[in-house]
Chain A
Amino acid sequence: MPSSRDTSGAIAITGVGVRSPLGDSFAAVADALLAGRPAIRTVDFGTGMEGVRTLAAPLADGDCVAAVPAAGAVGRLERINLQALAAALADGGIDPRATGPRLGLVLGQGAEHLKEWEADFRGGGRDVFTGAGAEPLVERLAAATGCAGPALTVGAACASSGFAIALARSWLDAGLVDICVAGGCEVLSPIAMAAFHNLRALSRWSGAPDQASRPFDRQRDGFVMGEGGAFLVLEPAARARARGAVIRGLLTGVGTSSDAAHMVAPCSDPTQAARAINAALADAGIAPGEIDYVNAHAAGTPVGDVAEAAAIRRALGDAAATVPVSSTKGLSGHLVSGAAAFEALACLVAFDRRAIPATANLDAPDERCVLDHVRGQPRERAVRIAASNSFGFGGANLCLILERAA
């Protein structure tokens, strides 16, 4: 980033909260990403999954996936999201009750009702049959934390929490709110595991579990689900500086597009994904060669990784040969609704630690995925500008441009 670059109108990231397979704090996640030890293992999903090798990346603290929910208890989905949201507010030094209606909340959550009906059903409830149920999750999160401004839930499949961040920025730009918390967390569940398994989207790797998630590798055969995610506190940079907040990074560009191709299958045509990346670059006012790191969506699916590599090459042009790229899903698994926010946090780690996490298990890059891959070891580099890609079922494409605060 040239020193003359004006980011005074940018949105600052002044707080982060995380629950993930790699840790539950910024420092823990940073250490784990750079240590390069995958959190993927065989997970007990309880009855109903017999005969399936259930590889997944559960939360680092051992919160039990298979436990049957107790009646009346706060469900895992709410609990995990609330923990990450509260941690973000605390990290940002935000007192919601003092901020009032100018504090917004945007939750990225792809299938809230399906997960809550499942949890209720496993606990003996009948909400899915009657249509009864609790208040929307975003309402409960807002009430529990005291966020009193506008609050909404955004669903864009695997890009949900990234779209939440994008929408939060638009609220800030429009003056609808002064501060907005955005992000989301995913939970593992038997039904999601079974559905993705039957869709043949999951890895059926028969070797060591921690080698199952293999973005861009020739032997990749699907993604591995993980759980958790992140929330980011966003506010105008000028406001953040005025209150003396610690600025972990700046959100300077957002690009979105839709493949409009298929409800389920990844789109092999990279045109629209490349358009989202180019739109984000244009929004940030930067050239492709100024990017120091691309955090790829790359989940380890045979078609999706090839399409993304092609999209990156098309969007960055000649610069693609020298812009480092890695996917953190080899370590964390695919956090689905929470993936985009968690991977934005991974970019903040690269700023903070001056190093790019390596793609785990990238032993032999697919020749159709030619990029400047970071593999084996983290790459030391003073990362100033990062692009984070997220792509979802149904063709929702998103690219966020993040910059290190000056």
Chain B
Amino acid sequence: MDRFSVFAPRLVEKAENFTSGHRACQGCAEALAVRLVMKALGRDTIVAMATGCMEIVSSPLPTTAWMVPWIHVAFENASAVVSGCEAGMKALMRKGKVPEKKITFVAMGGDGATADIGMGQISGVMERGHDMIYICYDNEAYMNTGIQRSSSTPYGASTTTSPAGKYSIGQHTQKKNLPQIAVAHNIPYVATACPSFPFDLMQKVKKASSIQGPAYIHILSVCPTGWRIPIDESIRYGRLAVDTGVFPLYEVVDGSYKMTYKPYRLRPVNDYLKGQGRFRHLTDKETGVIQDRVTKEYEGLLKRCEGR
């Protein structure tokens, strides 16, 4: 956000690499995130995508929304397949069969594919140090199969497999902190982003693509269907997530933290929670617990950003 003074829309590429006509739900912030990411990456990109909402909505045979080489693979495999693509292109370039040029290799997956089933392989690709970007579109549940909980579902959220009711408050475990897992791999670039902050998101994607080695970008993608919010509110809820400190925007370059957008003062978490159907059952006491945790984590992050 440090270059926000420039009138940025003029700098944004006009070409759409993730085109319209796909079947995403109304108000899908994930589709917006993919569109922005693809704008930032440009055409010299190879994408491997795990099964999920974006794969289903963008590629019903024989149509496709993708203007770049794009391969869809089973749920857990996007990162492994993109390592294969990267190795394959490296070999072809070395043999002179493909002209040498900078190609960005991108693996994409939802939070289920990233935090749950694909975790091992993502760890593998980061450890091997492939020159690729892994982008996680986090809508905080398995939305594609009908809103089942994932390990990225926040505490207290009601989903179909963590229903709130007499016996349960819904999801009773805390959200898995994926960016921190990526940071622990000592990879050159880790960032969090949200399509409600489009220029920040695109800048991070460009940075990730310019850096040699594995990069990880975690994008909070508001899902009106699964979060049970009105379809015209997804951008606002993305902003609220950031402004309340639930989802801080930061980047970690070679281990040093930087807050890329710092709200002047954090809004109470309740502003973010109260309108969402999935948190409707929460009492003041429970939102208090969530508030405490968010404050604690946010302060911890601030400390790391100040290098303490």
**Same complex:** no
